[in-house]
Chains A and B, each alone.
Chain A
Amino acid sequence: MEYSRSELMPGVFLSHLKSDKFKTACMSLNLITQLSRETASMNALLPNVLRRGTQRYPDMEQLSCRLDELYGAAIEPVVRRVGEIHCFGFFASFPEPAFLPGGEALLEEMSRLMAELLLSPNTRGGLLLPAYVDSEKEKLLDLIRSRVNDKRGYAVQRCLEEMCCYEDFAVSRFGDEEGVEAIRYKKLTRYYRDLLRSCPVELFYCGKATLSEVEDALRDALAGMPRGEINYDVGTELRMNALEAEPRCYEERMDVTQGKLVLGFRLGECMEDPDRAAIHVFNALYGSGATSKLFLNVREKLSLCYYASSAIVLRKGLMLVSSGISFDKFDAAKAEILAQLEAVRNGDFTDEELNWARRAVASDLRAAMDSPGELEGYWLSQALDGLDYGPTELAELAGEVTREDVIAVAKSVELDLVYFLRGENENTDEEEEEAYDDTEA
């Protein structure tokens, strides 16, 4: 696979990955802005409004029928945050010509469609259609409210919000209900026109077409894009330490039968000059995967939970440990999760464990080379960080991580906030039991 990067127009960058092995090519277009509470909801709404219809295909039915004709090609709105950078736009995928009955090449038409979604939406008097804006607002509100349906994800998100309450990272990629409710179609149109002029744009392509074929197709398609002064002032602010001297605790109650415990950590001073490979290997050894300390001890050895695992938010310098437990196991599970971290800090792990962790990290990275979607996410992050090494190179670095590297990361990690989602009624039971015990005594 050959990676190259070029600037097609002022502030419009293309990451091109030439690969002959996939049956489906993929392409993405991302507008890049700073994540902030003021604009997050508008950013999240915009690609969904634009996806409703273009001048050529004015409503969803016509647009979807056109995509069906193009052999089920897909162009979907995508909204992500990479650290505190908000990326939103479209992700497209379409079959390679070799697998189509007539050998049709879809690159040009897909580039054109994607550019039309961005530049030529269905408007009236130059304004985005109020009906589309209002209907997508409702759907975005439903989506924001629906996070409560997945208790595991909800608990993780709540922990992040509380932990980063003074930072932009507390803002969800979809913004919040107030932000969405405040959106009006005229204001959104103005905001959208400003974005087109000022946003850096990251394009990605992975497939059989050559660099010049892709450059030509996208440059032609985006030719009408107005470009003004580009705002490159985007980035992620790092907080090295916990907010308070003692870890904060936050509890929430809901009608659930299983408790969700989430521990939020700062990665600490290791983020001053982050050794990415070492941080990934530390995470694998401590808490991600079946050979990790959390899995083997908290789940397997002590049967304290159904799941317990750690995850890293590298660009923001965070680690989250999330676990599903019985309400009464709160103290025991928390103590064991912290005890396992202490063990890593003390170098209390075998060379074998270290080796497992290195292999797990390397294997995941090599496997990413086989998935167009994973590659897209990987290279978008790299582009935003100004880095140009591929997954294979990072996999090799993971193989060289030493025991000392891992201990150094573990020592740098600091607990900031403990979040616990518990049941509505379980405490009253406990109180009754305690009261009963008291009488007995």
Chain B
Amino acid sequence: MTIQKHEYPGVGETLYTAVLDNGLEVRVVPKRDYATYYAAFTTNYGGACRRFSVDGRTLDTPAGVAHYLEHKMFDLPDGDSALNILSANGADPNAFTSSGVTCYYFQCTEGFEENLRMLLHFVSTPYFTAETVEKERGIIAQEIRMGEDNPGMVVYYNLLEMLYAHHPIRDRVAGTVESIQEITAETLYDCHRVFYAPSNMILCVEGDVDPGEIARIAEEVLPKEKMPVPRADFGEAESLTPAGHLRTTEMEVSAPQFLMGAKLLPGLRGTEALRQRLTASLALRMLCGTSSPFFTRLYADGTLNMDFDYEVDASADTLTMIVGGESKTPEKVLTELNAEIARIAEDGFDPAAFTRAKRASLGARLRALEDFDNVCVSLAMDSFDGYCSFDSFELLEEITAEDCRRFVAEELAPERLALSIVAPKRGEAET
């Protein structure tokens, strides 16, 4: 094992990387003068990874397994809970499951090494019994119900269901109250064995630490052998055209919540993936960011408010552009956006606006480096797509206004967009 040092003098950071013999990738960002330590241990396995082949048989697992597994991983064989042990040791542990990954993390200001060992230990030590799995079902069912009452979740999944015809990213990560009934201890053991192999995982650490020591601890605590990991089967590749274009659901909300989205070309890796995402976010900043003519006009005439935002989401071999917020007239926002897209496809972006957007992007990226959680989690996510977001400071310089225009013209054509709306229940809402 060799440790590589990557320096980013422009932003005052140094990144150390290594790949252990068991295939685990390690990324460490040392921080002097900070009290906080942060570690994130992430597997390239999430809610959408439901179908896969192992030992010659194909498994079709119910929706919600990755998330269920996340809940149960904290149970240790001696009956203790890693959540309690870490908390008792002064750490603040937690975990999340997305469509593409499951991430276990903690933050602390003391006892870091001990906490790191516990993190690596509990995530690599499955222990489930019929009884403990059964007990969790109620808690997870409550979590699923809570999501059903959350307009943000409803508007998001409705959008994904329209964009994707069959890719499992359209299903809720936590599953449904029905689908989780089928999950057993055996399901959890199967999925853990297959997807929690070190070669499918990455450990990211930020804090006042020695990178060599981090790698050594990981080598000591984790399994030694390198296991092959199957690729999850997400079904046939989808066309870039959405399966549906408009969906409205009524809920108890004060004003319509909406998201517009488009599928972007998936499957790029490394620098090309980073370039694609940087181009997309720079283009979206100029198209509909807070200083864009589009946004400021619709903000001033009352169509949009400060909730309006955009993002590019990479997950489970998909790439999705999402724009949205709250508006009394979401259809109008879509019409106006289409008009703006057509104009930019034709005229391109204003060069002065392009220079400003690059500066603003630099500032925003610097600000994001201040956040331990953001740094460690994005280092992990990026690694599964073969790049490192620290490189974006340099790569940003290479992107041209024409790249951004082309992105808007090609990826955001009217037939590529879908609109999801959660509207107030009729007869209840205000004017």
**Which residues of A come within 8 Å of B, CB atoms?**
20-24, 59-61, 64-65, 67-73, 93-95, 98-100, 131, 135, 138-139, 142-143, 145-151, 254-258, 289-291, 296, 299-300, 303, 305-306, 324-326, 352, 355-356, 359-360, 362-364, 366-367, 369-372
Contacts and interface: CB of A to CB of B under 8 A. Distances in A.
Contact of B142 (A67, A306, A372): A306
B291 A64 contact: yes
A151 B149 contact: yes
Interface in B72-115: 81, 83-84, 86-93, 107-110
A65 to B, nearest CB: 5
A326 B92 CA distance: 27
Interface of B: 10-12, 33-36, 81, 83-84, 86-93, 107-110, 135-136, 138-139, 142-143, 145-146, 148-152, 251-255, 257, 290-291, 293, 296, 299-302, 305-306, 326, 353, 356-357, 359-364, 366-367, 369-372, 425, 430
A73 B146 CA distance: 37
A363 B110 contact: yes
Nearest to A51: B306
Contacts of B359: 68-72
Contact of B254 (A21, A145, A254, A257): A145
A61 B254 contact: no
A292 to B, nearest CB: 9
A97 B19 CA distance: 35
Tell me which of A68, A142, A326, A352 has the highest count of chain B C-beta atoms within 10 A of its own C-beta.
Answer: A68
A296 B85 CA distance: 12
A356 B87 contact: yes
Contacts of A366: 35-36, 109
A242 B211 CA distance: 55
Contacts of A363: 90-92, 108-110
Contacts of B357: 68
A296 B366 contact: no
Nearest to B286: A68
B10 A72 contact: no
Contact of A99 (B10, B81, B88, B254): B10
A71 B363 contact: yes
A245 to B, nearest CB: 34
A99 B366 contact: yes
Nearest to B110: A363
B148 A257 contact: yes
Contact of A98 (B12, B253, B302, B367): B12
Contact of A372 (B138, B257, B370, B425): B370
Contact of B84 (A64, A151, A291): A291
A321 to B, nearest CB: 17
A370 B372 contact: yes
B138 A367 contact: no
Contacts of B370: 22-24, 371-372
A220 B81 CA distance: 57
A142 B109 contact: no
Tell me which of B34, B90, B296, B353 has the highest count of chain A C-beta atoms within 10 A of its own C-beta.
Answer: B90
29 contacts: A20-B33, A24-B367, A61-B293, A61-B296, A68-B291, A68-B360, A71-B360, A72-B362, A95-B366, A95-B367, A99-B11, A99-B366, A142-B255, A145-B255, A145-B430, A149-B151, A149-B253, A150-B150, A256-B149, A256-B252, A258-B149, A290-B84, A291-B88, A306-B139, A359-B110, A360-B92, A363-B90, A370-B35, A371-B370
Given A72-B360, A289-B92, A303 B291 contact: no
Tell me which of B84, B142, B296 has the highest count of chain A C-beta atoms within 10 A of its own C-beta.
Answer: B142
A324 B146 contact: yes
Nearest to B371: A371
A356 B88 CA distance: 5
A255 B425 contact: yes
Contacts of B84: 290-291, 296
Contacts of B110: 359, 363
Given A23-B367, A363-B108, 14 more contacts: A23-B11, A59-B296, A64-B290, A64-B291, A65-B291, A67-B360, A95-B367, A142-B255, A147-B254, A258-B145, A291-B87, A305-B142, A356-B87, A367-B36
Nearest to B253: A149
A21 B36 CA distance: 13
Contacts of A299: 139
Tell me which of B90, B254, B363 has the highest count of chain A C-beta atoms within 10 A of its own C-beta.
Answer: B363
